């Protein structure tokens, strides 16, 4: 089934766009070709092998289930497949990064949502996204407004499939600086690494830093609607993790505060911050779509 883009402006002459003028940024422009397709090929090959012995997310450990995380298998117009992450926030909605469907060079033809599985190419509930709504401020290939919503058939919630809470009330104006948070994803765990056998979903604990501190690495491409986590100790998101959730873990359900957007051009383990889209900046848009 061909994916319906409800923000059609994102489809016009995408090859004219250029990446942000900052060599530190990695993971948005041409992501599907340079990262997503390569990770899909590695995951598919290794998931056909034997027992689960894999690792992912830099400095992370096996997730033991993150029920609000989904994997996205993105089929491009030329038939190749790429991977991204996403997060459930309603039974018929997935939040992800806009570059997972349009990275300034490649456009998704279809997206398969994989819910309730630690593995991308086996297990869980698998459904086709019906349409995608890309934030109208997003310019394909750039990090600003890198947010999209997938419309999907309704999921049945279970212990393995459940939503994250959207921030509300006092959290709307919270910058979360110093907050302990958790990221999760299906990506690699070390720079230059291959994805290991059976590729389980991984998670890692991180700390939110101020946007001013983040700008000291990435410059003025960091806007108020971005959120960054410290890379101290070589931890953070890496290739294949973008689009996935950044949450404040809860005893019942997690609170979603970020969506993975970009990493450092010099490598995931270089100690540079990981970049996310700040969910509190888009509550009205999310609820309206």
Q: How many domains does the chain have?
A: 1
Give pLDDT tens digits for 137-164: 999 989 999 999 999 999 999 999 999 9
CATH number of residue 273's parent domain: 2.40.10.10
Determine how β-strand 180-185 pairs with β-strand 245-248: antiparallel
As a whole number of angstroms, the distance between CA 10 and CA 216 comes to: 30
pTM given for the model:
0.86
Range of the domain at 279: 4-287
Give pLDDT tens digits for 74-110: 999 999 999 999 999 999 999 999 999 999 999 999 9
As a whole number of angstroms, the distance between CA 25 and CA 9 comes to: 24
As a whole number of angstroms, the distance between CA 247 and CA 202 comes to: 14
Give pLDDT tens digits for 227-244: 999 999 989 998 788 999
Question: Which pLDDT belongs to residue 240?
Answer: 81
Percent of the chain topping pLDDT 90 = 59
Cβ-proximal residues to 283 (8 Å cutoff; 6+ apart), any chain:
166, 167, 168, 172
Quote the Cα angle for 59-83-23, to 5°.
65
Contact present, 242 and 32 (Cβ < 8 Å) = no
């Amino acid at each position: 089934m061909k994916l319906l883009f409800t923000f059609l402006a994102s489809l016009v002459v995408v090859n004219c766009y250029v990446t942000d003028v900052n060599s530190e940024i990695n993971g948005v422009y041409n992501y599907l070709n340079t990262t997503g397709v390569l990770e899909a090929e590695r995951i598919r090959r290794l998931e056909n092998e034997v027992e689960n012995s894999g690792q992912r997310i830099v400095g992370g450990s096996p997730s033991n289930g993150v029920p609000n995380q989904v994997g996205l298998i993105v089929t491009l117009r030329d038939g190749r497949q790429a991977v991204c992450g996403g997060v459930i926030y309603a039974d018929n909605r997935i939040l992800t990064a806009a570059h997972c469907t349009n990275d300034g060079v490649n456009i998704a033809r279809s997206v398969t949502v994989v819910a309730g599985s630690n593995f991308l190419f086996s297990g869980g509930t698998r459904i086709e996204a019906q349409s995608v709504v890309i934030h109208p401020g997003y310019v394909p290939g750039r990090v600003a407004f890198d947010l999209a919503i997938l419309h999907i058939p309704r999921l049945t919630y279970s212990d393995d499939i459940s939503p994250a809470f959207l921030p509300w009330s006092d959290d709307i104006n919270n910058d979360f600086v110093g907050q302990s948070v958790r990221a999760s994803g299906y990506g690699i765990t070390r720079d230059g690494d291959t994805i290991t056998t059976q590729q389980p979903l991984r998670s890692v604990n991180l700390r939110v830093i101020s946007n001013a501190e983040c700008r000291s690495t990435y410059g003025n491409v960091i806007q108020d609607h971005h959120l960054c986590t410290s890379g101290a100790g070589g931890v953070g998101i890496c290739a294949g993790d973008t689009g996935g959730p950044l949450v404040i873990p809860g005893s019942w359900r997690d609170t979603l505060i970020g969506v993975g957007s970009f990493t450092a051009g010099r490598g995931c383990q270089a100690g540079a911050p990981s970049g996310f889209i700040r969910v509190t900046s888009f509550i009205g848009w999310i609820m309206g779509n």
